[in-house]
Amino acid sequence: MPTSQSSAPPAPASAGQQQTLSRPSMPIWSGRRAQVVLPVGALIVALALPFVFDMFFGYSAGFQLHRISLIYIFALAAFAQNILTGYAAQPSLGNAAFFGLGGYLVAWIAGDLGQPFWLAIIIAMIASAGVGVIVGGPALRISGAYLAIATIGLVLIASSLFDFWDTTVGRMSYDINTLPGVLGDDHSLYYVVALVTIIVFAAGAVLLRSRIGRAWIAIRDSESAAQAFGVNLTYYKLLAFIVSAALTGLAGSLYAIWAQTANSSMSSVDETIVFLAMIVVGGLGSLLGSALGALFVGFLPLLLGQLPSPLNVGGLSIQVSTLTTGIYGLLLLLALIFFPAGLASGRDALKSLLARRAHVGGSNE
C-alpha cells in the first residue's frame, strides 16, 4: 500500500517504515544535498590543506604535502579503473600498463627531449588512449576469466619492454632531472595535482550522469536490454577502454613527475593489485568510492610507518616495510569477504539507518 508523498506529519514508527518502503535507498549523487555539499566541501578541504599543513608541520609541511599529493594521483588511477570495471563491467587487470606508459613517455618527452611538461602529459594521454584502442579491440572478443589473464599478460609485456629499454640504455630507472619550478616545489605541485584531480572528478561526475554514463551502467546491468534500447556494445566498451587508458596514462605521468622518475615497477602486477584494491575497497561503480579507496591505499603505509621496525612478535623479527603489503592484502581480503560492495555501500547503509532514526524521532525531512 503506497503512501502519498505529501502526507501530514505521520505517526512515528510505522510512517518511518512506510517511507523506506516507498522510497528505497537512493544511489550516490542522487540527493540534491549530496550533489552540492560533498564536492564543494571536498574542494574547500583540498585548497585549504596546504595552509593547515603549514600551521601544523612547519618546515616538514612540504614533505607531508608531497605524500598527500600521491593520494590524488592514486584517486585518478582508481577512477580510471572504476570506469572500466565498476561502470562498463570489463574485468581488465591491464591498467598498470598504461600507468607505466604515461610515466615513461613524460620522462622521455619532457625530461629527455626537453618539450614542455603539459605537452608531454597530453601526448602521454593520447598515446595511452591509442594503445587502449589497440588493446580494447581484441579485448571485446575475450570474455571473463580469459580477459583477466590476457590483460595481466599486457602488464607483463609493458614491464618487459620498459625493463628492456632501461637495460639497453644502461640505467636503473628513467629519472627526470629537470623540473620546472611549478612542478618541483611541493606546495605548487600539490595544487597542480589537486586541481587536475578535482577537474577530472567533476567532469567524470557529469559524464557518468549523462547518456554515456548511463550506457555504461546499462551494459553492466543487462547487456541484452542495453542493446535492445540502442546501446552499441562495441562502441561503449571500447570508449570505456579508451577513457580508462587515457586517465591512467595521466595518473602515470603525474606519478613520474611526483617521484621524479619512472621505472618498470609502475607496470607490474603489484600495481594492478593496488588499482583493483582501491575500487574494490572503495566501491565498484562509485565515484566517491574511487576517492575513498585512494585514501585507504594512501594512508595505510603512513599508519604502518608509525609502528616500530623491526617488529618483534613471538621470536620473529619482522620488517614493517614487508608487512605493509601483507596487511594491505589482508584488509583487501576481509573487505571482499565482508563488504562485497565496498566502503561506499557502507555509507549508503549508514545513510538509510540515519534516515530511519530521524523518522523514528518524529522529524520530517
Q: Which residues in 256-285 contact another protein (CB under 8 A)? A: 269, 272-273, 276-277, 280, 285
Of 14, 232, 309, 363, the one binding another protein (CB under 8 A) is 232
What is the chain's Cα-based Rg? 23
Of 332, 343, 345, 359, the one binding another protein (CB under 8 A) is 332
- Is residue 38 close enough to count as binding another protein by CB under 8 A? no
- With vertex at residue 205, the alpha carbon angle to CA 347 and CA 224, rounded to the nearest 5 degrees, is 90
- Is residue 144 close enough to count as binding another protein by CB under 8 A? yes
In the window 280-309, what residues touch another protein (CB under 8 A)?
Answer: 280, 285
From the list 117-125, 186-194, 229-237, 292-300, the region that binds another protein by CB under 8 A is 229-237
Number of residues that bind another protein (CB under 8 A): 87
The per-residue DSSP string of 264-302 comes to GGGSSHHHHHHHHHHHHHH-TT-HHHHHHHHHHHHHHHH
> Measured from the CB of residue 145, what is the shortest distance to another protein in angstroms?
5
Q: How far is CA 201 from CA 94, 198, 205, 213, in A?
A: 22, 5, 6, 13
The per-residue DSSP string of 175-202 comes to E-----HHHHSHHHHHHHHHHHHHHHHH
- Is residue 91 close enough to count as binding another protein by CB under 8 A? yes
Closest CA relative to residue 296, chosen from 315, 316, 284, 280: 280
- Is residue 346 close enough to count as binding another protein by CB under 8 A? no
Take residue 44 and report the three cell numbers written for it: 574547500
Compute the distance between CA of residue 48 and CA of residue 70 in angstroms, rounded to an integer.
17
In the window 149-168, what residues touch another protein (CB under 8 A)?
Answer: 149-150, 152-154, 156-157, 159-161, 163-164, 167-168
Of 38, 196, 202, 300, the one binding another protein (CB under 8 A) is 202
Of 114, 145, 308, 312, the one binding another protein (CB under 8 A) is 145
CB closer to another protein, 177 vs 224: 224
